[in-house]
Amino acid sequence: MTKPILEAKGIVKELGQGAGMVRALKGVDITLNPGELTLLMGPSGSGKTTLLSIMGCILTPTEGHLAILGQSTAGMDAEELARLRRRHIGFVFQSYNLFPTLTALENVRLGLDVQGVHGSAATERARAALTSVGLAHRLRNYPRNLSGGEQQRVAVARAIAGSPALLLADEPTAALDAENGQAVMALLSELARDESRAILAVTHDNRTLPFADRIVHIEDGRIVGEERKTPDSRRPPAEAPRSKKKKA
């Protein structure tokens, strides 16, 4: 059995203090395995983003245990968590979060620079990442000159340029039209075929379902269900695969 990329057990997260304290996560167990694209779905306020932030080592859980590639995050300070993120985790954000003053190539290079990859090595890797998302012809363009879909692909290139083991995407299709949303999901689905990488995307968008290997449902801070598809059933949207659903 392959070792999981991420293991979270009994994750509890309390936000706020005193009378205003909210228990956003109430004991979540989740495992992300390599070669899988997992969708995390749930209504607004269900705790999706909080769970994503904890899995991305941006927030720390109030209770519970989180391990990335077998390395426990317990007791890590902010700088140690940042180090873990830059080594193993890539992010794709709903609003792309590209740097408007940098070109597509520079945006990807910046992500690599943060990881300690500099100079021509960074340029080559950034160019290869942008080429892999179909933007070889847009290297010198600034975000303002790119469509929403292209910007999100630059964000994906930035996330994968450092070859992270874990790719976390927050509503990656929410700001995109149907065509661009499908293209980005197809790209994430393709990236998930890499057996050394796990991808999790938080989404509301039902059009993303056909690309998933696994769909995890969260409600009121708890995992309430999970659908897992057979490895060969992952197909383009026109040939949406069958799924089997089980209660968590």
Partner 1 sequence: MVLTLAFRNLFHDRIRLVVTLVGILFSIVLVAVQLGLYLGARKMIIGMIDNANAELWVTAFGAKSFEEAGSLDGRQRHIALSVPGVASVEPLVASFNEWRKPDGGATLSVVVGTDMPVGGLAPWNMIEGEPADMFRPNAVIAERTYLENLGIKGVGDTAEIGAQRVKVVGLTEGIRSFTTAPYVFMPLARARAIMGMTENQTTFYLVKLQPGAEAPIVQRALQARLSGVEVLTTTEFRDRSLAHWLFSTGAGVALIGGALLGTLVGTVIVAQTLYSSTKDHLNEFATLRALGSSSGYIHRVILLQAALSAGFGYALGMTIALIIIEASKNSALPIIMTPGLAAGLLALTIFMCAISALAAIMKVTRIDPAMVFAR
Token code pair at residue 184: 């980005």
- Residue 50 CB, shortest distance to partner 1, in Å, is 9
| 8 A C-beta contact, residue 161 and residue 129 | yes
* DSSP 8-state assignment for residue 16: S
Closer CB to partner 1, 51 or 229, in the complex: 51
| 8 A C-beta contact, residue 64 and residue 28 | yes
Distance CA 14, CA 26 (A): 9
| 8 A C-beta contact, residue 227 and residue 67 | no
What is the number of alpha carbons within 13 Å of residue 3 lying toward its C-beta?
A: 9
- Residue 52 CB, shortest distance to partner 1, in Å, is 7
Distance CA 235, CA 231 (A): 10
Closer CB to partner 1, 112 or 229, in the complex: 112
Closer CB to partner 1, 126 or 135, in the complex: 126
- Residue 211 CB, shortest distance to partner 1, in Å, is 21
Closer CB to partner 1, 75 or 100, in the complex: 100
Place of tokens 């979540």: 28
- Residue 108 CB, shortest distance to partner 1, in Å, is 10
- Residue 3 CB, shortest distance to partner 1, in Å, is 22
Residues in contact with partner 1 by the rule CB under 8 A: 49, 52-53, 56, 58-59, 78-79, 82-87, 89, 91, 93-95, 97, 99-102, 106, 109-111, 113-115, 118, 122, 158, 170
Closer CB to partner 1, 88 or 229, in the complex: 88
